[in-house]
Amino acid sequence: MKLVVNAILGVEMQAIAEAVAFGKTSGLDRGILLDVLSQTAVIAAAHLGKLGRAALNDYSPQFPLRLMNKDFRLILDLARAENVHMPAAEAAFQVNNSLLPSDGDKDFSAIMRHT
């Protein structure tokens, strides 16, 4: 069950990071973007605090990126063993994995630093 929940948590964080990048490149102010997103129904409660902390560039670990990476690896290994295709989780894992050298000990929301 933990891996099921963390699959959603990690993929949603990747979606938020991509949406923020899209908004910024479309000319929206990052601070306003994070504030407005935090007031929408589409942001899960687990991510609300992450948006506020991202606005302050605070990526101190609550759930380190390296542990999310470990869980993504377990999720994808189990999915492959059960022949379950998880393209969104695979894509999020690839981004997560690429950031391990610089952000492995930061919170998993640190993927937003790169948007």
Dihedral sign computed on CA atoms, order 94, 98, 101, 103: negative
CA 63 from chain center: how many Å? 11
Name the nearest CA neighbour of 7 among 90, 66, 109, 103. Answer: 90
Catalytic residue from among 2, 24, 50, 106: 2
Is 106 a catalytic site residue?
no
What amino acid positions are annotated as catalytic residues? 2
